[in-house]
């Protein structure tokens, strides 16, 4: 898992450097490009969550609060649905930025200024109400829409700072949107829906993700990475 995560991060970093090289012709210092990031804002599900599920009342005290979760790196459960680190952890290490604070662990602008992780294990792309209207039940009453609302709350808190400080925060932030939608598809498949029936969710999931990106790009963010859904089945 760690080797795969490191490879993915390396590919992502190469992509960022190449994107900068093609966007700004002329000599470029790769380390300078990466060093300009001061924080990460993360979104997603259990592949990105680093602690929100342990605080969120409907999921607090879940299995990832007990061993063997966290044992191979942290030595104890770390709020991650893993025995080690997640892709966002390796990205934090590579970009040399602070570990983003789980949103539910903070309250003030000072808590969030160094980065925030809005991801929550079990989150779906579609809102629970939308899934229920399709005859499906979400695993957790939480969706990407809720994460973007959390983000908007943080933006409001940070907007109390001066305009130059706001621009500085935006210009030096990296937005990591981990895969979303897999829990929607699982909700369908585990309800004995066929693959073709499950495929009908795709346009709805894509629409929600597109809307979320619109919200995230409104404050003129610096960089955004959007992850795809991992392969399901064999």
Task: Report the alpha-carbon distance of residue 207 to residue 212 in Å, rounded.
Answer: 9
Nearest CA to 144 among 162, 168, 120? 120
Q: Is 4 exposed, middle or buried (0-12, 13-18, 19+ CB in 10 A)?
A: exposed
69, two tokens? 């979760």
Q: Which residues contact 216 (CB under 8 A, 6 or more apart)?
A: 41, 43, 148, 151, 175, 177, 224
Which pLDDT value is given to residue 167? 67
Which pLDDT value is given to residue 219? 64
Which pLDDT value is given to residue 205? 97
Which pLDDT value is given to residue 234? 44
Question: Which residues of the chain are under the pLDDT cut of 50?
Answer: 7, 10-11, 14-29, 32, 234
Domain ranges of the chain: 44-227
Which pLDDT value is given to residue 19? 43
Asked whether 204 and 130 are in contact (CB, 8 A), the reply is yes
Which pLDDT value is given to residue 27? 42
Which pLDDT value is given to residue 215? 84
Task: Report the alpha-carbon distance of residue 173 to residue 137 in Å, rounded.
Answer: 35
Cis peptide leading into residue 68 (ω within 30°): yes
Which pLDDT value is given to residue 35? 67
């Amino acid at each position: 898992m760690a080797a795969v995560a490191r490879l993915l991060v390396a590919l992502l970093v190469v992509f960022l450097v190449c994107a900068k090289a093609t966007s700004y012709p002329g000599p470029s210092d790769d380390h300078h490009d990466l060093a300009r990031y001061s924080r990460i804002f993360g979104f997603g599900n259990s592949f990105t969550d680093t602690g929100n599920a342990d605080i969120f009342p409907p999921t607090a005290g879940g299995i990832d609060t007990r061993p063997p979760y966290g044992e191979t790196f942290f030595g104890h459960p770390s709020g991650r649905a893993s025995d080690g680190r997640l892709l966002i952890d390796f990205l934090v290490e590579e970009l040399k930025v602070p570990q983003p604070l789980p949103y539910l662990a903070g309250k003030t602008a000072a808590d969030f200024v160094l980065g925030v992780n809005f991801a929550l294990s079990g989150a779906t792309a579609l809102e629970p109400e939308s899934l229920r209207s399709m005859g499906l039940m979400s695993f957790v009453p939480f969706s990407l829409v809720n994460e973007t609302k959390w983000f908007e709350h943080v933006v409001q808190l940070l907007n109390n700072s001066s305009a130059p400080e706001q621009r500085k925060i935006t210009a030096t932030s990296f937005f990591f949107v981990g895969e979303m939608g897999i829990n929607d598809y699982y909700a369908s498949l585990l309800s004995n829906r066929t693959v073709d029936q499950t495929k009908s969710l795709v346009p709805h999931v894509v629409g929600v993700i597109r809307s979320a990106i619109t919200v995230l790009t409104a404050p003129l963010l610096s960089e955004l990475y959007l992850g795809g859904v991992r392969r399901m089945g064999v």
